[in-house]
Chains A and B, each alone.
Chain A
Amino acid sequence: MTDKKVLFIDGKEVEIENERNILELCRKAGIDIPTFCYQPELSVFGACRLCLVEIEGRGIQSSCSTPPEAGLKIKTNTEEIRNLRRITMELLLASHPQDCLKCGKSTKCKLQAIARKVGVKDIPYKMSVKDLPVDKSSYSLIRDPAKCILCGNCVRMCSEIQGVGAVNFTNRGSRSTVMTAFGKDMFTTECVNCGQCAAVCPTGALQIHSEIDETMKDINNPEKITVVQMAPAVRVAIAEEFGLPAGIDSTKKIVAALKKIGVDYVYDTNFTADMTIVEEATEFVQRLQNGGTFPMFTSCCPAWIKYAETYYPSILKNISSCRSPQGMFGAVIRKAMPDFTGKDNKDIVSISIMPCTAKKFEARRDQFKHDGKPEIDHVLTTQELAEMLKSSGINLAEIEDHELDMPLGMYTGAGVIFGVTGGVMEAVLRFAAEKVGGIKDAIEFKNVRGFEGIREAEVELNGRTFKFAVVHGLANAGKVAQSVIDGTCKYDLIEVMACPMGCVGGAGQPVSEGCVKKKLRAEGLYKADEKCALRKSQENTAVYDIYDKYFEGGPATHEAHENLHTTYVARPKAQMEMDLNRVNDGAVTVELNLSGENMRNGVEDLMGKVLGKIRENGLQDTVKVGVTFGHTGEDPMVTVAGKAVEADAEKVLAAIKAAKK
């Protein structure tokens, strides 16, 4: 190579390849520069001032925001740098609560780890810890802003990768805080519960909302039968928590561990992943035959569902009505476990173990409740499972294997790959190739594999070319959703997973920076798929047995629709309302709804006309006018006395007059 570009790090020559900055080069050279705010997948922020290096001729620079140039001479470990890093840490710690022993992030906290690394022994500054309330409103996450060090990782993750922006920097100077809009509780915001903010949070400021205590209580209760379902991505990640490499398949060890702590039945969400394929592919074919809505989106990812409900309610009809595999499993347990155990459903506790924080929210959706109670009682993430096992004195690395319980532990390779971006699509193709295209031996569809944010594939089935897209990251999903609204979308079926790289990169998984471990986990799933004797969902005979017994013999039957399908609702980004005038009680109320979708459809013009009509007719003192920004559920543009009225000022006026009588 003649044009090889090099620079020098601590006297050693290092070649510049595609590295974006000096920090990446230092890491390539085997020197782990400490940093909080640098995340490879996010924009460079340069806020934490920890990654300082000395560049000859330029002095001290932050390595994350300095692009590499040939010939630079860099020192990473001088006395001055060591001192600066320690002082920076001491300053950060001076405004950080010193309650590590009680903190849920303890031992996994980057602040703690780097404090040790740079040798903090004392905090020679006056402590100034903020007194801010902890927000536990979300099922998925806990936000403790007093522990925030303002690295901005959550802010950038939420807006850059997920396209949401539920948290932002607010205030200024010493009062700076990362907060939701208007300081509202997380639960009432546009947060989609994906948890990626917590995955990149270096401290305990954003944590997973743990359900370990409630779960253990039920496991320890002899009156209760505990039933676990475990999602595919969990098995290739949990071993990392026990010092083993990423990507090894720990299914049998997880079963053994759960049995050891007293769980009665351990099943596999792969079972209902197979069921989802049968159900969803049938839905796809029926949409084709009956002129249904296209494109169709997959529905497995609960963060994607809430995102679509909040931002793109008009495409909810495009989303498969199939429940997610977790949701289907909830229904299957409710139907089948009383038969298997002879116990009543009230004594059966349904626990799921997921790589995902949004699954906690999904389990509490009204649509997933039966007789007012969630079908799934507890949702634990991979991290929580590891913690629960450790607290029970179990080392996953050393335990003997145990087989999954049958029949709900039976699965095919198609179910396994649900845990990685492209996996659901590939599983659909394995089904469709055979059922629609009549091709028996098509198993691997490598054209839908990979890690690009939006991938496309074409497959010819039965003389027709189908276009598929696989999307991960909600900002990418938003682009595709917008193209559907604009009428420019050219796909037939779109798989969406909110988290980068799919469920293997879920926020419930052991924390891992960048994509190295996530790729190993994905490889682990593909290997587990290869090892399966059965690799197509339609070969899972146990699924058809359950259909026969509980769902009228097959997919898309009435019973299947009742139990395995769901509905979606429009959701507001923020629940807020304001009155535009003050009137006496008993006045007719007109409510104008400025939700995102209505804004696109001209609600502001309607508002102007309605206000004009009210003025013209001298109704300001007797008609109360309010503005909202959307409701959960029905989302009409305008209501009069609580009833939806067509978006037309004359009709609104008529409705007001009618209501007054």
Chain B
Amino acid sequence: MSETTGQELSAFDKIEKVKEILDRNGRQSSRLIPILQEVQEVYRYLPKEIMNYVAQALGIPAGRVYGVATFYAHFALEPKGKYLIRLCDGTACHVRGSEPILAELRKKLGLTAQHPTSDDLMFTIETVSCLGACGLAPVVVINDEVHGQMTPDKALKLIDDVLQAEKA
């Protein structure tokens, strides 16, 4: 089965998109970070083969690309789920009870800190140090949608909603 179904880009489209990103950035090694950011939007992580492709295209050692990719927390080297759940564990969210929410979410999805992504690549749970939305603490962000004043129950409901939407 090819990966052409759904809104997901096919792997053909993705690698062509990488070429387009490289071209748009003038294949300048000084543009490495923005290039990697855009590539990560395409793949939701940075596959090592694609990092190697970027290195070849920019004429820099693959090790330098890998060095940059591993330096910044923003870059993911493992595939992330279709739904990236980021739970804020900054000071405000922490004191307002982010920990029980994290525990419940992980329990529901069978995930841990070491194993943050579900095997079907549907969900990834990450904690972040502050989202700058302390007034809404505790905060859960699913992809780009911000959900404030969370409780474990409310958070679980969000997951159920996602699952419902996926079924439909």
Name A residues whose Cβ lies closer than 8 Å to a Cβ of B: 159, 164-172, 179-182, 189-190, 573-574, 576-583, 594-596, 599, 604, 607-608, 611, 614-615, 620-621, 625, 627, 629
Interface 1/0 per residue, B11-53 and A, CB below 8 Å: 1100110010000000000000000000000000001111111
Judge if B4 is at the interface, Cβ distance under 8 Å. yes
Whether B79 sits at the interface, judged by CB under 8 Å, is no
**Would you call B56 and A172 a contact (CB within 8 A)?**
no
Instruction: Establish whether residues B47 and A578, one from each chain, have CB atoms under 8 Å apart when the complex forms.
Output: yes
Known: A594-B53, A611-B16, A629-B56. A181 touches B1 (CB 8 A): no
Pair A181/B66 contact, Cβ less than 8 Å: yes
Q: How far is the CB of B57 from chain A (nearest CB, A)?
A: 6
Q: A574-B62, A578-B49 are in contact. Are A172 and B4 (CB under 8 A)?
A: no
Q: A620 with B10: in contact, given A577-B49, A627-B53 (CB under 8 Å)?
A: yes
CA distance A396 to B34 in the complex (A): 58
In the complex, which residue of chain B has the Cβ closest to the Cβ of A604? B19
Give min CB distance, A602 to chain B, whole Å. Answer: 12
How far does the alpha carbon of A615 sit from the alpha carbon of B4 in the complex, in Å?
Answer: 10
Q: CA of A151 to CA of B56 in the docked complex: distance in angstroms?
A: 27
Number of B residues contacting the other chain (C-beta, 8 Å)? 31
Does B53 contact A581, Cβ atoms closer than 8 Å?
no
Q: Given A181-B61, A604-B19: A621 and B2 within 8 A (CB)?
A: yes
Minimum distance in angstroms from A613 CB to a CB of chain B: 11
CB distance from A474 to the nearest CB of B (A): 13
Q: How far is the CB of B129 from chain A (nearest CB, A)?
A: 14
Q: Please measure, in the bound complex, the distance between the C-alpha atom of A594 and the C-alpha atom of B64, giving whole angstroms.
A: 18
Q: Shortest distance in angstroms between B27's beta carbon and chain A's nearest beta carbon?
A: 10
Pick the contact of A615 from B12, B53, B57 — CB < 8 Å? B12
Q: Are B70 and A599 in contact (CB under 8 A)?
A: no
Flag if A168 contacts B66 (CB, 8 Å).
yes
Report the separation of the CA atoms of residues A426 and B72 in the bound assembly, to the nearest whole angstrom.
51
A164 to chain B: closest residue by CB: B61
Q: B49 contacts which of A604, A625, A627 (Cβ < 8 Å)?
A: A627
A629-B2 CB under 8 A given contacts A164-B61, A578-B47: no
- Whether the Cβ atoms of A182 and B15 lie closer than 8 Å is no
Nearest to A621 among chain B residues (CB) is B2
Task: Please name the residue on chain B nearest to A583 by beta carbon.
Answer: B2
Residues of B within 8 A of A165 (CB): 60-61, 63-64
A168, B64: Cβ atoms under 8 Å?
yes
- Asked if A172 and B70 make an inter-chain contact with CB atoms under 8 angstroms apart, the answer reads yes
A182 to B, closest residue via Cβ: B48
Which residues of chain A are near B19, meaning CB under 8 Å? 604, 607-608
A608 touches B16 (CB 8 A): yes
